Amino acid sequence: MGDSFHDQLLEDSRFLRADQRLDTELVDKLILQLNRIYPQILSDKEATKFRDLDVPTCVRLGELLTHLQEKGEEACKEFYRALHLHVEEVYYSLPTRLRLKDSSDPLKKRAVPGQKYDLNERSPMFFLSCFSLAAGVAMLYYYSESKVSGGSRVVGLAALGLSRQAREVLIWYTEERATK
């Protein structure tokens, strides 16, 4: 976090002034939060000035942001804290938040040119051969069952390595098919 909160607020000010999600009610919540919790940042007189409903919300917000920047680093930091508390979706969509999230997210992997993303160390030929084997067995089973009577005995042989309940189901299936 090389940027100070003051620098971040300078950068985010244009976005905040244009954001339609910051309506009169939310701006008032931010002003009250700063006034009640940090009266040294926003006195009662200043809060009353910034809450004047005769002044459009975007103008009041712009004046508030300018005032906080003049107050210094701590005031800017507390504004971000209040914004995070009351309007989380706006807070996380701020240009500086998005930039900080992208640059400091240790779980997000950076794409390195030429880097290969493997799920494991096996090559695509391994998966192709496994799929081909499964398809071959399925085709063998399908065609052998239709041409040879009792062709479903392959299923009976497959039951040898299964649990007792699964074996019973497969043997029942083979016997049922053989009687038809």
pLDDT digits (tens, 9 = 90+) for 71-106: 889 988 998 898 888 888 888 888 888 877 766 554
In this predicted structure, which of 19-23, 51-55, 153-157 has the lowest mean pLDDT?
153-157
Q: Assess whether pLDDT exceeds 50 at residue 107.
A: no
Residue from 165, 143, 160, 161 nearest 152 by CA: 143
Q: Assess whether pLDDT exceeds 50 at residue 67.
A: yes
Distances in Å between the alpha carbon of 33 and those of 16, 137, 173? 17, 70, 72
Show the tokens assigned to 169: 């189901």
- The pLDDT of residue 45: 92
> What distance in Å separates the CA atoms of residue 177 and residue 51, rounded to the nearest whole number?
83
Distances in Å between the alpha carbon of 30 and those of 81, 90, 178? 10, 13, 79
Show the tokens assigned to 121: 């160390």
Q: What is the mean pLDDT of residues 4-8?
A: 86
Residue from 171, 169, 168, 129 nearest 154 by CA: 171
Higher pLDDT, 49 or 150: 49
Cβ contact 33:86 at 8 Å? yes
Per residue in 126-139, pLDDT (tens digit) is 878 888 888 888 87
Q: Assess whether pLDDT exceeds 70 at residue 110.
A: no
Q: What is the mean pLDDT of residues 38-63?
A: 89
What percent of the chain stands above pLDDT 90? 5
Q: What is the mean pLDDT of the chain?
A: 76
> What distance in Å separates the CA atoms of residue 4 and residue 12, rounded to the nearest whole number?
12
